[in-house]
Amino acid sequence: MENRIWFLVISLGVLWGSSFLFVEILLQYLNPITIVFLRVSIASAVLILFIYATKQAYPLSASDLISLLIMGFLNNVIPFTFITIGQQTTTGGLASILNANTSILAIILAAIFIPSEKLTLNKIIGVFVGLIGVIIAIGYQNIFQFLENSIGKYFILLATVSYAFASIWAKLKLTHLPSLIAAAGMLTMSSLILSPFVIIYHSSELLNINVTILLWSVLFAVLCSVIAYFLYFKILESTGAGNLLICTIIIPPSAIILDAFVLGQVILLTEFIGMIVIILGLIILDGRILNLKNEA
């Protein structure tokens, strides 16, 4: 890759890695649903204003709106909420490590639902290695222990399942839409889905938001959704989806370093080993670094 593309990929990985830090900070003030609502609604408003200012309007059919609604559930509402709930009992570092499981699950689901996405040898090995990494990170002795103080790990794993299904849904239903329109539509639908819950159950919390909370929320939305989406689309336009897997590899160490620097969190040895194994699995999935042939 060119140096410019490397810069975009690394920047995107760091931005998405920082999302776990923002969640940790905002959980000190807000409940998970409100945090997610502020992220998607602020990002949606910014993207809509940008589309309007740059005159990139695009006519959406009823079918498009339904597809975007489902995408909003799968790619924003469910995973954002589950990750935020999960981080109430799990560090941002571990959350980011488990979140890397998304690419592994997406490979499996793509092979099931998309005929052209076949399981190649490097994908099979990468999936197997990645799953071992997840088990190490969680702790094999804890896999079937659903204790209240450790249940967050499983919410985060459920979030990765939703992300994986979202990637399949996007490939099947949204590839005809301009990327920016799809992102704005998805975030807008997510905001509409969450609005009734926030108004009914958390309106007092919204009314009591101070300048500090609002600033953190705006930074969260702009950096981790708006700017991140711009980088995401630029990478897709420049080199295709393959290099986004490298971005996934960058997210966990970015999150761990940021959490350690800002919040003083310490990563456990088992979590660190699990991260290394998951990253190895992602490298094998990618295939290019190890020059693995894409043949089953």
In a 13 Å sphere around the CA of 19, the CA atoms on its Cβ side amount to 29
Range of lowest pLDDT (40-44, 75-79, 88-92): 88-92
Residue range 84-104: mean pLDDT, rounded: 89
* Helix runs in 223-268, H state only: 228-239, 244-263
Domain residues for the domain of 183 are 3-286
Closest CA to 178 of 57, 41, 52, 294: 57
Please give the tally of structural domains in the chain.
Answer: 1
Residue range 257-283: mean pLDDT, rounded: 87
**Residue 282's pLDDT is what?**
81
**Residue 296's pLDDT is what?**
37
**Residue 194's pLDDT is what?**
97
**Residue 291's pLDDT is what?**
61
C-beta of residue 83 within 8 angstroms of C-beta of residue 23: yes
Q: Is pLDDT of 241 > 60?
A: no
Residue range 39-58: mean pLDDT, rounded: 94
Asked if residue 168 is part of any domain, the answer here is yes
Residue range 241-254: mean pLDDT, rounded: 77
Plot region of 240 (φ>0 → left; ψ -120 to 50 → alpha; else → beta) = left
**How high is the mean pLDDT of the chain?**
87
| Percent of the chain's residues with pLDDT above 70 | 89
**Residue 62's pLDDT is what?**
96
Query: Alpha-carbon distance 287 to 15, whole Å?
Result: 25
Non-local (6+) Cβ contacts of 123 within 8 A are 107, 111, 285
Return the residue matching tokens 């990002």: 43
Query: Alpha-carbon distance 71 to 192, whole Å?
Result: 13
Asked if residue 141 is part of any domain, the answer here is yes
Asked if residue 296 is part of any domain, the answer here is no
Q: pLDDT tens digits, residue range 181-214?
A: 999 999 999 999 999 999 999 999 999 999 999 9
Q: Is pLDDT of 44 > 90?
A: yes
Give residue 84's pLDDT band: very low, low, confident or very high (50, 70, 90).
Answer: very high
Return the residue matching tokens 């295939």: 287
Query: Alpha-carbon distance 84 to 23, whole Å?
Result: 6
Q: Is pLDDT of 37 > 80?
A: yes
- Kindly report the number of other CB atoms within 10 A of residue 11's CB atom: 17
Query: Alpha-carbon distance 93 to 264, whole Å?
Result: 11
Closest CA to 174 of 45, 36, 60, 55: 60
Give residue 229's pLDDT band: very low, low, confident or very high (50, 70, 90).
Answer: confident
Asked if residue 152 is part of any domain, the answer here is yes
Angle of helix 269-286 relative to helix 92-99, nearest 10 degrees, comes to 30
Non-local (6+) Cβ contacts of 31 within 8 A are 202, 205
Query: Alpha-carbon distance 53 to 48, whole Å?
Result: 9
**Residue 143's pLDDT is what?**
53
Range of lowest pLDDT (11-25, 56-70, 88-102): 88-102
**Residue 136's pLDDT is what?**
84
Give residue 21's pLDDT band: very low, low, confident or very high (50, 70, 90).
Answer: very high
Closest CA to 26 of 37, 16, 15: 37
Query: Alpha-carbon distance 2 to 142, whole Å?
Result: 43
C-beta of residue 84 within 8 angstroms of C-beta of residue 38: no
Phi, psi of 196 (to 5 degrees): -60, -40
Give residue 139's pLDDT band: very low, low, confident or very high (50, 70, 90).
Answer: confident
C-beta of residue 258 within 8 angstroms of C-beta of residue 83: no
Enter the pTM of the model.
0.88
**If you count them, how many residues does the chain have?**
296
Asked if residue 43 is part of any domain, the answer here is yes
**Residue 88's pLDDT is what?**
93
Q: Is pLDDT of 113 > 90?
A: no
